[in-house]
Amino acid sequence: GRQGCQIDFENVSFAYEGASGDPVLKNINFTCLPGETIGIIGSTGSGKSSLVSLIPRFYDTSAGTIRVDGVDIGKLDPAKLRDQIAIVPQKSILFSGTIEENLRWGNEHATLDEIMQAAKMAEAHGFITSFPEGYETMLGQRGVNLSGGQKQRLSIARALVRKPDVLILDDCTSALDTTTETNIKESLKSFASGVTCLLIAQRITSVMDADKIIVMDDGEIVGIGTHETLMKSCRVYVEIFQS
C-alpha cells in the first residue's frame, strides 16, 4: 500500500510555449498534505487543468518550484514521478478490448482481484457484473455502449488499479449523480493508507467537503480554505455557489 505524498507549489508561474500574453498560471502557492483531498474550482479557462498537469511534469514550470515529499520535481526521475501519480482526464480514454483489459492498462501486474477491488471503490463493480460477461465484456465498436457516467467510473477504477500516491481527478465526475460521487469519495478516504487527492470540479457540491478548496480565477489563486471560510471570504467562490 502507498501513503500519499505531500505536494508544495512555491511561487509557480507557467506559460505554454509559444503563447503570447499573460502566463496561464501566476504565482501559485499552496501545500497539500499527505492524504488530504484538495478541491479545485474556478471558471473555464482559469487554469485548473494546467495547474495539475505540472505535477507529473507534463509541462515544466516557467518559474517557481513544485515539490513532492520535499523534493523538487525537476530533480526527480520523470518515470518514477509519473508512476506515483494517476490523472483521470476530463474525457475518458477507453479502448477496444474487455473491461478487464481496460482496467489493467497502466498496471499490467494487477490481479483480477485488485481490479475488482478498484472497480468497487469506483462504484463500477455493480454495472460491470450486471453484464452477462462481466469483466470479460467487450468495449468499443463491437462492444457494449456505456453511458458517460459509466465511462467515468471505469476511468477512475483504472487509476485506482495503479495504486497511486497522488490521484488527480480532472472534472471527471460531472456525469455522475451526487450519491455515486459521494460514495466514490468515501471509498477513496479508506483507500490504501490514504491517497493524496486533487479534485477539479465544476460543482461546489463536488468539492465542499474537501479538506481545502483552491479557487482559481484567471490563472491566480483567489482563495484557499474550507467551504465555510470561502463562503465568508471569497467573492469568486460565492459567485460560483450562486450560479
Positions touching ligand DUT (CB under 6 A) are 16, 19, 24, 42, 44-50
CA–CA separation, 182 and 65 (whole Å): 33
Contact of 14 with 2, CB cutoff 8 Å = no
Please identify, using beta-carbon distances, which residue of 16 and 126 lies nearer to ligand DUT. Answer: 16
CB of 164 to ligand DUT, least distance (A): 20
CB of 26 to ligand DUT, least distance (A): 11
CB of 108 to ligand DUT, least distance (A): 29
Rounded CA Rg of the chain: 18
Please identify, using beta-carbon distances, which residue of 19 and 79 lies nearer to ligand DUT. Answer: 19
CB of 232 to ligand DUT, least distance (A): 24
CB of 240 to ligand DUT, least distance (A): 12
CB of 48 to ligand DUT, least distance (A): 4
CB of 52 to ligand DUT, least distance (A): 8
Please identify, using beta-carbon distances, which residue of 48 and 212 lies nearer to ligand DUT. Answer: 48
Q: What is the DSSP letter of 205?
A: H
Please identify, using beta-carbon distances, which residue of 34 and 89 lies nearer to ligand DUT. Answer: 89
Closest alpha carbon to 147 in 118, 182, 176: 176
Closest alpha carbon to 224 in 171, 243, 233: 233
From the centroid of its chain, how far is CA 174? 12
Closest alpha carbon to 156 in 93, 82, 68: 93
Please identify, using beta-carbon distances, which residue of 46 and 117 lies nearer to ligand DUT. Answer: 46
CA–CA separation, 128 and 154 (whole Å): 9
Q: Helix, strand or coil for residue 166?
A: strand
Contact of 222 with 31, CB cutoff 8 Å = no
Please identify, using beta-carbon distances, which residue of 24 and 85 lies nearer to ligand DUT. Answer: 24
CA–CA separation, 158 and 163 (whole Å): 9
Residue listed under C-alpha cell 500516491: 165
CA–CA separation, 204 and 1 (whole Å): 31
Please identify, using beta-carbon distances, which residue of 149 and 219 lies nearer to ligand DUT. Answer: 219
